[in-house]
Structure 1
Amino acid sequence: MKTAELTQGTVTSRDGTEIGYYKTGQGPAAVVLHGSMESARSHTLLAEALASDFTVYLPDRRGRGLSGPHRADYTVRTEVEDLEAVLTAAGADRAFGVSAGGAVVLEAARTLPLQQIALYEPAIVADGAPHREWLIRFDQEIARGDLAGGMVTSMFGFEMAPAFLKVIPRGLLRRMTEKMLVKEERQAPADAITMRRLAPTIHAEGTIVAELGGTFDNFRTVAADVLLMGGTKGLAGLKPGRATLEKVLPHCRRIEFDGYDHGSSSDPGGVNPTGKPEAVRRIAEEVKAFFKQS
């Protein structure tokens, strides 16, 4: 399978943090912002599919890969400023965001001059309070080095756990998760951004969901054209949010892909072991056609 040729670059966000990115393609610029437990290279297949018509920028959101760390005063605004730095350097007014990255792109569209945004299962929920509650336990587990326990906590906090896991004792789930982390590290290349390395970034994702929960009316002012996408097998907790966003966004087209799940826009592997390249290409086709409308 052909792999996109990626070059690297960096920009400086407003608080001085370096934000690194990969770049590929030709034509007008478009920024692709990855989701939770992912990094910039989680969307290389999608970037490759867009690269014939667009110069695609794949930033590592802070705390990952090429980018600097989170700071204690982190908020959604921090992520918007990081995205703004990349958009400015790229000269881009188009962006595609996934999950928490989609929530950041949507929030950015309220204040930045974005003309077109495509979103795949943006992490906007009706009530952010429950996420603030599980984050307390998550932070305690991460602080004592219990990454597997923290991942179990976040899986239930984000309502990602399938029904059959809800009857398994938590201790057993934690041990299963630890074995999965060890197996991935054993098989991964030395420079891979593994789940163990990504686990601490879940705090930021929970912060985004908690902060933006219930803020649907704020998006009535978004002037950008919006392509709002999801999958029929995606996260159940995010489906009501898409229905509400479809109503409040002034310029919105919605697509629900039959049989696609929350990770369908991302490269197969890592936290997306059931991913399919054909699903990535199908989503990329819709994004490309949408971005070419301007």
Structure 2
Amino acid sequence: MQSTRSTGEMEIEYERHGDGQPLVFLHGGMAPSEYWMPVIPALDGYSAVVPQRPGFGTCLDSPTDTGADEVLDREVRYVQSLVNAVDGDPILLGHSYGALTAIEAATDTAVEAVIAYEPAVLPAEYRADAALADRMASLIQNGEREEAVKRYIEQVLHPDGIDDLDAWLAEWPAWPDCVDLAEEVVWMNRSVERYRLPDRLDVDAATLVLAGTDGPDFLRWSARNVHDALPHSRFVEFDGVSHGGPAEAPELVAAEVDVFLQK
């Protein structure tokens, strides 16, 4: 683990693996930085820079100490500070909420390129009825933390359902840590529900937007909407891959990333 202090605002902590151009991996809602471990070996031509998102293992105050409107802004500032801290011309690779953070950070920070897998942006027709954050918060207030996290898993990670969710969770090593992150996920979802995608995203860097056919429909649509809002974007959709594409199909995703970055 390496660490550096930025301009007095926050401490940046990250792991760095390998040599080459820095490729910054930004994880999503329920996934810790270890989410990227299957992908990093497939992109061994780059120097993998793997931070923890604020509130997900760093020394920063938890998002539960601030308002939903401030969460995305703080995470964007964290990424911008990280970009300034590493040597070289960084590339940002984000998944879900990390993809949204990568794109927003690139609107005001010079990066070589951005890769965004299913950015966590709600299309307007979904946002009007979005209430996941409220449902989770109510369950947590009633002492039902596990049930709160299950609602997130059912709606975002496995929208087509799992035959025996409890049995699946019992075999999932990340489950206890996910329960501990319940409040952070509530704030993250509130910020997603309030986010409005502009008609145009002022990102000068070339951007690759990725999606899978087997994830939630709203995230597939949001990926296309984000692609349309970017001035220099390429869109690729993977058949038979879900929202967890980078961990689920790392070689497939890495191959597309390599092609994009080599152009």
Q: TM-score range by the shorter chain?
A: 0.7 to 0.9
Alignment CA distance shift 1:15-1:148 (3 Å):
farther
- Correspondence for 1:98: 95
Alignment CA distance shift 1:154-1:13 (3 Å):
farther
- Correspondence for 2:184: 201
Residue identity opposite 1:59 in structure 2: P
Give the alignment of 1:1-294 within 5 angstroms: 8-12=1-5, 16-51=9-44, 53-68=45-60, 69-70=62-63, 71-73=65-67, 74-91=70-87, 92-127=89-124, 128-131=127-130, 133-155=131-153, 158=156, 160-162=158-160, 177=166, 183=170, 194-212=177-195, 214-219=196-201, 221-266=202-247, 275=248, 279-293=249-263
Q: CA RMSD in A?
A: 2.8
State the secondary structure of the residue aligned to 1:217. Answer: coil
Of all paired residues, the percent bearing the same amino acid is 25
Cα offset, 1:83, TM superposition: 0.7
Looking at structure 2, the residues matched to 218 and 107 of structure 1 have their Cα atoms a distance apart, in angstroms, of 12
Alignment CA distance shift 1:121-1:194 (3 Å):
same
Q: Deviations over 1:69-107 (max 9, x none)?
A: 223143211110111121111134310000111011111
Alignment CA distance shift 1:193-1:281 (3 Å):
farther
State the secondary structure of the residue aligned to 1:265. Answer: helix
State whether residues 21 and 66 of structure 1, in contact with CA within 8 Å, keep that contact through their aligned partners in structure 2. Answer: no
How many aligned positions are there? 256
State whether residues 6 and 85 of structure 2, in contact with CA within 8 Å, keep that contact through their aligned partners in structure 1. Answer: no
Q: Deviations over 1:91-126 (max 9, x none)?
A: 343100001110111111211112310011111122
Cα offset, 1:151, TM superposition: 1.8
Gapped runs of 5+ residues in structure 1?
A: 1-7, 166-172, 267-274
Alignment CA distance shift 1:15-1:231 (3 Å):
farther
Cα offset, 1:39, TM superposition: 0.8
| TM-score computed with the length of structure 1 as normaliser | 0.76
Q: Deviations over 1:112-146 (max 9, x none)?
A: 11231001111112233433x33223223223431
Looking at structure 2, the residues matched to 15 and 193 of structure 1 have their Cα atoms a distance apart, in angstroms, of 33
Gapped runs of 5+ residues in structure 2?
A: none
| TM-score computed with the length of structure 2 as normaliser | 0.85
